[in-house]
Amino acid sequence: ARQASKLEFDSIRTVDGVNAEGKPVKVVVSRTGEIRLLDPKTGRTLSNNYIPYGSFLFVTDGQEVQRGDKLCEWDPFNAVIVSEFRGVVRYNNLEEGVNYRMERDDQTGFAEKVVIESKNKRKIPSITILAPKTGEELKNYSLPVGAYISVEDEQEVVSGQQIVKIPRKLGKIADITGGL
Protein backbone atom coordinates (compact mmCIF):
# COMPACT_ATOMS: atom_id res chain seq x y z
CA ALA A 1 0.00 0.00 0.00
CA ARG A 2 1.35 3.43 -0.91
CA GLN A 3 -0.48 5.12 1.96
CA ALA A 4 -2.90 4.43 4.80
CA SER A 5 -6.22 3.54 3.19
CA LYS A 6 -9.31 1.35 3.26
CA LEU A 7 -9.59 -1.46 0.68
CA GLU A 8 -12.49 -2.15 -1.65
CA PHE A 9 -12.49 -5.30 -3.80
CA ASP A 10 -14.00 -5.28 -7.30
CA SER A 11 -14.66 -8.64 -9.04
CA ILE A 12 -12.08 -10.56 -6.99
CA ARG A 13 -12.82 -14.28 -6.54
CA THR A 14 -10.54 -16.39 -4.36
CA VAL A 15 -10.13 -19.99 -3.22
CA ASP A 16 -8.30 -21.29 -0.17
CA GLY A 17 -4.80 -22.56 -0.89
CA VAL A 18 -1.32 -22.88 0.59
CA ASN A 19 1.90 -21.08 -0.36
CA ALA A 20 5.40 -22.59 -0.79
CA GLU A 21 5.93 -22.56 3.00
CA GLY A 22 2.68 -24.46 3.56
CA LYS A 23 0.87 -21.48 5.11
CA PRO A 24 -2.82 -21.00 4.24
CA VAL A 25 -3.46 -18.16 1.77
CA LYS A 26 -6.24 -16.90 -0.49
CA VAL A 27 -5.47 -17.57 -4.18
CA VAL A 28 -7.04 -15.22 -6.76
CA VAL A 29 -8.99 -17.09 -9.48
CA SER A 30 -10.64 -14.09 -11.16
CA ARG A 31 -9.13 -12.65 -14.33
CA THR A 32 -10.23 -9.02 -14.00
CA GLY A 33 -10.12 -8.30 -10.27
CA GLU A 34 -9.07 -4.94 -8.84
CA ILE A 35 -8.41 -3.52 -5.40
CA ARG A 36 -9.30 0.12 -4.85
CA LEU A 37 -7.49 2.04 -2.13
CA LEU A 38 -9.88 4.56 -0.59
CA ASP A 39 -9.22 7.50 1.69
CA PRO A 40 -10.57 6.28 5.07
CA LYS A 41 -11.98 9.73 5.95
CA THR A 42 -13.57 10.85 2.65
CA GLY A 43 -14.08 7.53 0.83
CA ARG A 44 -12.43 9.03 -2.30
CA THR A 45 -10.50 6.59 -4.52
CA LEU A 46 -6.73 7.05 -4.14
CA SER A 47 -5.66 4.30 -6.57
CA ASN A 48 -6.81 1.20 -8.48
CA ASN A 49 -4.62 -1.91 -8.58
CA TYR A 50 -5.15 -4.82 -10.97
CA ILE A 51 -4.68 -8.17 -9.15
CA PRO A 52 -3.25 -10.90 -11.43
CA TYR A 53 -4.81 -14.37 -11.68
CA GLY A 54 -2.95 -16.81 -9.41
CA SER A 55 -1.82 -14.15 -6.91
CA PHE A 56 -1.65 -14.84 -3.17
CA LEU A 57 -3.90 -12.29 -1.44
CA PHE A 58 -2.95 -11.12 2.08
CA VAL A 59 -5.82 -8.68 2.76
CA THR A 60 -9.62 -8.73 2.94
CA ASP A 61 -12.37 -6.54 1.53
CA GLY A 62 -12.97 -3.49 3.73
CA GLN A 63 -9.68 -3.89 5.62
CA GLU A 64 -7.73 -0.78 6.63
CA VAL A 65 -4.04 -0.92 5.70
CA GLN A 66 -1.01 1.22 6.47
CA ARG A 67 1.70 2.48 4.12
CA GLY A 68 4.02 -0.40 3.18
CA ASP A 69 1.57 -3.25 3.94
CA LYS A 70 1.78 -6.10 1.41
CA LEU A 71 -1.54 -6.63 -0.39
CA CYS A 72 -0.67 -9.55 -2.67
CA GLU A 73 2.20 -11.50 -4.24
CA TRP A 74 2.64 -13.30 -7.59
CA ASP A 75 5.31 -14.80 -9.85
CA PRO A 76 6.33 -12.06 -12.31
CA PHE A 77 8.11 -14.53 -14.62
CA ASN A 78 5.32 -17.11 -15.06
CA ALA A 79 1.62 -17.08 -15.72
CA VAL A 80 -0.10 -19.96 -13.91
CA ILE A 81 -3.22 -22.09 -14.05
CA VAL A 82 -4.69 -22.75 -10.62
CA SER A 83 -7.18 -25.49 -9.73
CA GLU A 84 -10.40 -23.95 -8.45
CA PHE A 85 -11.56 -27.27 -6.99
CA ARG A 86 -10.39 -30.18 -4.89
CA GLY A 87 -10.35 -33.29 -7.05
CA VAL A 88 -8.44 -35.71 -9.27
CA VAL A 89 -6.44 -34.70 -12.35
CA ARG A 90 -7.26 -36.34 -15.69
CA TYR A 91 -5.07 -35.69 -18.76
CA ASN A 92 -6.94 -35.21 -22.06
CA ASN A 93 -5.22 -35.57 -25.45
CA LEU A 94 -1.74 -35.57 -23.88
CA GLU A 95 0.68 -37.97 -25.60
CA GLU A 96 4.44 -37.93 -25.06
CA GLY A 97 6.27 -37.06 -28.27
CA VAL A 98 3.04 -35.93 -29.95
CA ASN A 99 2.02 -32.84 -27.98
CA TYR A 100 4.29 -32.87 -24.92
CA ARG A 101 7.89 -33.77 -24.20
CA MET A 102 9.87 -34.45 -21.04
CA GLU A 103 12.44 -31.73 -20.32
CA ARG A 104 15.18 -32.67 -17.86
CA ASP A 105 17.29 -30.16 -15.93
CA ASP A 106 20.88 -31.48 -15.93
CA GLN A 107 21.83 -29.67 -12.71
CA THR A 108 18.88 -30.77 -10.56
CA GLY A 109 17.88 -33.96 -12.41
CA PHE A 110 14.27 -32.73 -12.21
CA ALA A 111 12.06 -33.61 -15.20
CA GLU A 112 8.99 -31.64 -16.31
CA LYS A 113 6.35 -32.14 -18.98
CA VAL A 114 6.27 -29.30 -21.55
CA VAL A 115 3.41 -28.89 -24.04
CA ILE A 116 4.73 -28.70 -27.62
CA GLU A 117 3.16 -27.83 -30.99
CA SER A 118 1.34 -30.85 -32.41
CA LYS A 119 0.86 -31.77 -36.06
CA ASN A 120 -2.69 -32.89 -35.25
CA LYS A 121 -4.59 -29.64 -34.60
CA ARG A 122 -7.72 -31.54 -33.54
CA LYS A 123 -6.07 -32.89 -30.39
CA ILE A 124 -6.10 -29.96 -27.99
CA PRO A 125 -4.22 -30.88 -24.79
CA SER A 126 -6.12 -30.16 -21.57
CA ILE A 127 -6.42 -31.11 -17.92
CA THR A 128 -9.75 -31.93 -16.31
CA ILE A 129 -10.43 -31.83 -12.57
CA LEU A 130 -12.86 -34.57 -11.53
CA ALA A 131 -14.84 -34.79 -8.28
CA PRO A 132 -13.02 -37.22 -5.94
CA LYS A 133 -15.97 -39.54 -5.16
CA THR A 134 -18.34 -39.22 -8.13
CA GLY A 135 -15.88 -38.67 -11.00
CA GLU A 136 -18.03 -35.76 -12.19
CA GLU A 137 -16.17 -33.18 -14.33
CA LEU A 138 -15.69 -30.00 -12.28
CA LYS A 139 -13.47 -27.90 -14.60
CA ASN A 140 -11.45 -28.29 -17.79
CA TYR A 141 -8.27 -26.28 -18.43
CA SER A 142 -6.82 -26.02 -21.97
CA LEU A 143 -3.01 -26.06 -22.12
CA PRO A 144 -1.13 -23.61 -24.37
CA VAL A 145 2.10 -24.49 -26.18
CA GLY A 146 5.07 -23.95 -23.86
CA ALA A 147 3.13 -24.75 -20.66
CA TYR A 148 4.95 -26.72 -17.93
CA ILE A 149 2.62 -29.29 -16.34
CA SER A 150 3.09 -29.45 -12.54
CA VAL A 151 0.76 -32.39 -11.80
CA GLU A 152 0.54 -36.05 -12.81
CA ASP A 153 -2.40 -37.92 -14.33
CA GLU A 154 -4.74 -39.26 -11.60
CA GLN A 155 -3.04 -37.07 -8.95
CA GLU A 156 -5.23 -35.53 -6.25
CA VAL A 157 -5.17 -31.73 -6.11
CA VAL A 158 -6.61 -29.19 -3.69
CA SER A 159 -8.26 -25.88 -4.50
CA GLY A 160 -5.72 -23.12 -5.04
CA GLN A 161 -2.98 -25.54 -6.16
CA GLN A 162 -0.88 -24.50 -9.16
CA ILE A 163 -1.29 -27.16 -11.86
CA VAL A 164 0.42 -25.44 -14.84
CA LYS A 165 3.17 -22.83 -15.20
CA ILE A 166 3.47 -20.77 -18.41
CA PRO A 167 6.74 -18.79 -18.78
CA ARG A 168 6.18 -15.17 -19.79
CA LYS A 169 8.11 -13.95 -22.80
CA LEU A 170 10.69 -11.37 -21.78
CA GLY A 171 11.19 -8.37 -24.05
CA LYS A 172 14.15 -8.82 -26.39
CA ILE A 173 15.93 -6.23 -28.47
CA ALA A 174 15.99 -7.46 -32.07
CA ASP A 175 19.01 -5.47 -33.22
CA ILE A 176 21.30 -2.67 -32.17
CA THR A 177 18.93 0.05 -33.45
CA GLY A 178 16.23 -1.24 -31.09
CA GLY A 179 18.31 -0.11 -28.14
CA LEU A 180 19.14 3.34 -29.55
Q: What is the mean pLDDT of residues 88-112?
A: 88
Whole-angstrom distance, CA of residue 134 vs CA of residue 58: 34
Q: What is the mean pLDDT of residues 52-63?
A: 94
Q: What is the pLDDT of residue 106?
A: 79
Q: What are phi and psi of 76, to 5 degrees?
A: -75, -15
Tell the burial category of 105 from Cβ atoms under 10 Å away from its Cβ (0-12, 13-18, 19+): exposed
> pLDDT-based confidence at 110, cuts 50/70/90?
confident
Q: Kindly tell me if the per-residue pLDDT of 180 is higher than 70.
A: no
> pLDDT-based confidence at 87, cuts 50/70/90?
very high
Strand ranges in the chain using DSSP code E only, listed in sequence order: 5-10, 14-18, 24-28, 34-38, 45-50, 56-57, 64-65, 72-73, 78-82, 87-92, 100-104, 111-115, 126-130, 137-142, 148-149, 156-157, 162-167
Q: What is the pLDDT of residue 88?
A: 96
Q: What is the pLDDT of residue 5?
A: 95
Average predicted confidence (pLDDT) for the chain? 89
Q: What is the pLDDT of residue 120?
A: 81
For residue range 115-173, what is the model confidence (pLDDT) as tens digits? 999 888 888 899 999 999 899 999 999 999 999 999 999 999 999 999 999 998 865 55
Q: What is the mean pLDDT of residues 65-84?
A: 93
Q: What is the pLDDT of residue 171?
A: 59
